[in-house]
Amino acid sequence: MKKAIFRILDANLDRAREGMRIIEEWCRLGLNHQPLAEECKQIRQELAQWHSWELRQARDTPGDVGTDLSHPQEEVRETIKQLLQANFCRSQEALRVLEEYSKLYDPQMAAACKQMRYRVYTIESSLLNSYRHQQLYNAQLYLVTSPKPELLKVVESALKGGLTLLQYRDKDASDGNRIEKAHQLCQLCHRYNALFIVNDRVDIALAVDADGVHLGQKDAPVAFAREILGTHKIIGRSTTNKQELNRAIAERADYVGVGPFYETPTKPGKAAASVEYIEYVKAKCPVPWFAIGGIDLKNLNGVLAKGAQRVAVVRAIMQAEQPTLITRQFLSQLMSR
């Protein structure tokens, strides 16, 4: 019994340290994030202090029936996000095992592992928050969907063209259909390492584990959405004037939509945003903002000339015969400015 417990502690100390090292390398060399890298290193060193010679001596690798066990999902990592999440889970699960079995070995070790597990949860939250928000900051083109029978096909074509930010918008579909489509789109976006945002519906964003939600002026408060989705998810807000922008900033929205830049059937009856408002946004907006409303390749240069650096489009890509080509042309013009 004693040897079995020692083997369990030894194996999970290795597992937790390995997972933390993988995360540490990305924080250090992938993100150049010194505080997170240092915290990962500190946890590894604390685990090493508990990894005594007594526990190491109990190791029996040839006799371990689990060395040949594997799962297909462990053999491939399609994105950095998947790799990081897998190793966060690896470390957290190992720390939980250490916490429980250490109660039979050294209660102080159990208490230490419990606290380390909470610290790893905090690192995960900070890292995912940083990762998502860096993706948001880098995104120049934002595709907002419109209902279409071949929706998934059009979206995948845009993703192949380099799209990194998508919002699923369908005001008229049933809740069941919206959840199904949102789930499919979320998986598709993550396969291409793109962010997936749900329009209006905080509950659907939560249900499909979307990267965030976009709220109109008549939708839920940003604080409510953040409480439901968590601090690491992205929350955007539509704005059409100074008052709405100031309120979005005060609510701490992560980004805002600014428009409509041109009259558009997506927002019938809405007049184009004034030059005064656009100038105000350029001067006062501290978060990424996306020009939206009737934008296409023909008027894109005019939008950029007004000071926009990021644009959101609907019809220009959703109704295009070649969504991949149009997406690439948008990105080429945006990046050349």
- Catalytic residue of the set 267, 282, 315, 328: 267
| Average confidence (pLDDT) over 68-87 | 72
CA distance linking residue 328 with residue 240, whole number of Å: 28
pLDDT tens digits for 18-41?
Answer: 999 999 999 999 888 899 999 999
CA distance linking residue 284 with residue 244, whole number of Å: 13
Q: Which residue has the higher pLDDT, 143 or 80?
A: 143
Per-residue confidence (pLDDT) for residue 31, from 0 to 100: 80
CA distance linking residue 208 with residue 327, whole number of Å: 26
User: Which 8-state DSSP code applies to residue 219?
Assistant: S
Per-residue confidence (pLDDT) for residue 127, from 0 to 100: 84
Per-residue confidence (pLDDT) for residue 18, from 0 to 100: 97
> For the whole model, what pTM was predicted?
0.73
Q: Is 238 among the residues known to form the active site?
A: yes
The helix-helix angle for 175-191 and 151-160 (nearest 10°) equals 20
| Average confidence (pLDDT) over 121-133 | 85
**Cα distance from N-terminal residue to C-terminal residue, the chain:** 68
Which token pair is 295? 């934008």
Q: Is 267 among the residues known to form the active site?
A: yes
Q: Is 126 among the residues known to form the active site?
A: no
- Catalytic residue of the set 15, 17, 169, 178: 169
- Catalytic residue of the set 17, 233, 238, 310: 238
Per-residue confidence (pLDDT) for residue 247, from 0 to 100: 96
pLDDT tens digits for 106-119?
Answer: 999 999 999 999 99
With bands split at pLDDT 50, 70 and 90, how would you rate the model's confidence at 281?
very high
